[in-house]
Structure 1
Amino acid sequence: MLAGLEDIEEIVDGGKKGGIDDLEEGELKAFIEKLGVQKIVKEITAQEAVAEEHMEEETNHSLEEKKVKKSKKKDTIQVGKEKVKTKTVEKKEGSIFPLKNKGKHVYEFSERSMLLLKPGGKWYDHDYTKEFAAKPQNEEDVGRYKTLAEKLYEHEVNLYKNKKELQKGANTRWMKTVVSAGTLADRMAAMTVLIQDAPVHTLHFVENLINLLRKKGSKRQNLMALDTFKDLVLSDLLPDSRKLHTFAQHEFDKLEEISSGNKDARDRRLILWFFEERLKQLVSEFVKVLDMLTHDNLIATKAKALNVVSELLCNKPEEEKTLLSLLVNKLGDPQYRVATKASYLLEMLLNKHPNMKVVVCLEVERLLYRPNISEKAQYYGICFLNQIMFSHEESDLANQLITVYFSFFRACIKKKEIDSKILRALLTGVNRAYPFADLVNEEVKKQLDTLFKILHAVNFNTSVQILMLLFQVMDSQQTVSHRYYAALYRKLLDPGLAQGSKQTMFLNLLYKSLKADVALKRVKAFVKRLLQVTCCQKPTFICGALYLISEIIKLKPGLRVLLEENGVCT
Structure 2
Amino acid sequence: MAKKEHSKNTKSHRKENNSDSKPKILMPIDKPWFTTEIPTDATRLNLSVLEEAKKLYEEDVELYKKLFPLSRSDEDWYQSILRNGALKDKVGALSVKIRSSPFHSLSLLEQLLAMAEKKNRKEATMAVDVLKELLLNVVLPDRKLLNFHQYPFTKEPKILAMAYFEHSLKALMFKFVKLLEAYSVDPLYFVKYKAVNVLYEMLVAKPEQEQNMLTLLTNKLGDPEHKVSSRASYLLTQVLQSHPMMKMIVIKEIEAFFVRQFSNIECHYYGYLTLSQIVIGKGEQEVANYLINLYLTSFNKIVKKDDNDRSISAILTGVHRIYPFSDKSATLTEHLNVLFKMIHTGAFNTSIQALNVLYQIACHSPELMDRFLRALYEFILDHRFYNHSNFSLFFNVLYKAVSSDSNTHRIQSFLKRLLSVSAMHDVPFICTSLIFVSEIFKLKPGLRTMLTTPEELEDDEKYPYDASKRDPAFTGANSVCLWEISILKEHFHPTVAQYAKRLLSGGLIECSVDPLQHYTPMMFLDRFIYKNPKQVKQSKSLLQAKEVSLPFIKLNEQDNSSMIKKLFDRPVNQGVIEQLQASQVPVEELFFYHYFKMKPQVKKNKKTFENEEDFENDMEEEIDRILMGGIGENDDEDTDGLDDEDDEDLDDEDVEELDDDDMEDMDDLDEDEDDEQMDGFDMPSDEEMPSDMDDELPSDDQNNDDQFASFSDEESQAADFEEMEKEMIEEAEKEKDPKALNKEKKKRKRELLKNVFMDADHIKQGKEKEKERIAQERVHGC
Q: For residue 412 of structure 1, what is the aligned residue in structure 2?
A: 302
Q: CA separation in 1, counterparts of 2:422 and 2:137?
A: 61
Q: CA separation in 2, counterparts of 1:143 and 1:491?
A: 72
Q: CA separation in 1, counterparts of 2:505 and 2:118?
A: 82
Q: For residue 386 of structure 1, what is the aligned residue in structure 2?
A: 276
Q: CA separation in 1, counterparts of 2:47 and 2:212?
A: 28
Pairing of 1:154-553 with structure 2 (within 5 A) = 154-164=58-68, 167-216=70-119, 218-239=120-141, 241-252=142-153, 255=154, 266-370=156-260, 372-415=262-305, 417=306, 420-442=309-331, 444-553=332-441
Q: CA separation in 2, counterparts of 1:170 and 1:476?
A: 81
Pairing of 1:36-47 with structure 2 (within 5 A) = none
1:147 to 51, 60, 83: 51
Q: For residue 118 of structure 1, what is the aligned residue in structure 2?
A: 28
Q: CA separation in 1, counterparts of 2:92 and 2:293?
A: 52
1:128 to 37, 41, 57: 37
> Residues 397, 407 of structure 1: CA spacing in aligned structure 2 closer, same or farther, 3 A cutoff?
same
- The one-letter amino acid paired with 1:553 is F
Q: CA separation in 2, counterparts of 1:344 and 1:377?
A: 16
Three-state SS of the structure 1 residue aligned to 2:387 is: coil
- The one-letter amino acid paired with 1:268 is K
Q: For residue 447 of structure 2, what is the aligned residue in structure 1?
A: 559
Contact 2:27–2:33 (CA under 8 A) maintained in structure 1 = no
- The one-letter amino acid paired with 1:175 is Y
The gaps in structure 1 that reach 5 residues or longer are: 1-111, 257-265
Q: For residue 104 of structure 1, what is the aligned residue in structure 2?
A: none
- The one-letter amino acid paired with 2:425 is Q
The offset of 1:418, in angstroms, is 7.0
Q: CA separation in 2, counterparts of 1:419 and 1:306?
A: 26
Q: For residue 22 of structure 1, what is the aligned residue in structure 2?
A: none
Contact 2:47–2:148 (CA under 8 A) maintained in structure 1 = no
Deviates more, 1:152-161 or 1:347-356: 347-356
Q: CA separation in 2, counterparts of 1:515 and 1:431?
A: 20
The gaps in structure 2 that reach 5 residues or longer are: 1-21, 455-480, 482-503, 507-782
> Residues 225, 439 of structure 1: CA spacing in aligned structure 2 closer, same or farther, 3 A cutoff?
same
- The one-letter amino acid paired with 1:176 is Q
Contact 1:461–1:500 (CA under 8 A) maintained in structure 2 = no
Using the aligned pairs only, state the percent identity.
36
The offset of 1:522, in angstroms, is 0.7
Task: Write the deviation string for residues 116-147 of structure 1: whole angstroms up to 9, x where unpaired.
Answer: 223343222x2325x556x5x35xx5235433
Contact 1:524–1:559 (CA under 8 A) maintained in structure 2 = yes
Q: CA separation in 2, counterparts of 1:538 and 1:309?
A: 47
Contact 2:302–2:308 (CA under 8 A) maintained in structure 1 = no
Deviates more, 1:306-315 or 1:339-348: 339-348
Three-state SS of the structure 2 residue aligned to 1:317 is: coil
Q: CA separation in 1, counterparts of 2:439 and 2:263?
A: 49
- The one-letter amino acid paired with 1:436 is F
Q: CA separation in 1, counterparts of 2:418 and 2:71?
A: 89
- The one-letter amino acid paired with 1:128 is E
Q: CA separation in 1, counterparts of 2:433 and 2:348?
A: 18
What stretches of structure 1 move > 4 A for 4+ residues in a row? none
Contact 2:46–2:149 (CA under 8 A) maintained in structure 1 = yes
- The one-letter amino acid paired with 1:531 is L
Q: CA separation in 2, counterparts of 1:161 and 1:412?
A: 64
Q: For residue 29 of structure 1, what is the aligned residue in structure 2?
A: none
Q: CA separation in 1, counterparts of 2:299 and 2:162?
A: 54
Task: Write the deviation string for residues 330-374 of structure 1: whole angstroms up to 9, x where unpaired.
Answer: 111122222122112222222222222221111111111225542
Three-state SS of the structure 2 residue aligned to 1:369 is: helix
Contact 2:344–2:351 (CA under 8 A) maintained in structure 1 = yes
Contact 2:363–2:369 (CA under 8 A) maintained in structure 1 = no
Q: CA separation in 2, counterparts of 1:232 and 1:497?
A: 56
Task: Write the deviation string for residues 82-125 of structure 1: whole angstroms up to 9, x where unpaired.
Answer: xxxxxxxxxxxxxxxxxxxxxxxxxxxxxx9432223343222x
- The one-letter amino acid paired with 1:521 is H
Deviates more, 1:428-437 or 1:229-238: 428-437
Q: CA separation in 2, counterparts of 1:229 and 1:419?
A: 42
Q: CA separation in 2, counterparts of 1:540 and 1:316?
A: 50
The offset of 1:440, in angstroms, is 4.0
Task: Write the deviation string for residues 124-180 of structure 1: whole angstroms up to 9, x where unpaired.
Answer: 2x2325x556x5x35xx5235433322211111122234455x53433432233234
Q: CA separation in 2, counterparts of 1:132 and 1:310?
A: 33
Q: How many residues align?
A: 438
Q: CA separation in 2, counterparts of 1:118 and 1:569?
A: 87
- The one-letter amino acid paired with 1:425 is A
Deviates more, 1:457-466 or 1:327-336: 457-466
If asked which structure has higher relative contact order (CA below 8 Å, sep 6+), I would say: 1
Task: Write the deviation string for residues 497-540 of structure 1: whole angstroms up to 9, x where unpaired.
Answer: 23324411111111100122111111111111112122112111
The offset of 1:222, in angstroms, is 0.5
Deviates more, 1:183-192 or 1:509-518: 183-192
Contact 1:213–1:222 (CA under 8 A) maintained in structure 2 = yes
- The one-letter amino acid paired with 1:438 is D
The offset of 1:480, in angstroms, is 4.4
The offset of 1:398, in angstroms, is 2.0
Deviates more, 1:174-183 or 1:394-403: 174-183
- The one-letter amino acid paired with 1:345 is L
Q: CA separation in 2, counterparts of 1:237 and 1:275?
A: 11
Q: CA separation in 1, counterparts of 2:344 and 2:230?
A: 32
Q: CA separation in 2, counterparts of 1:206 and 1:419?
A: 47
Q: CA separation in 1, counterparts of 2:358 and 2:348?
A: 15
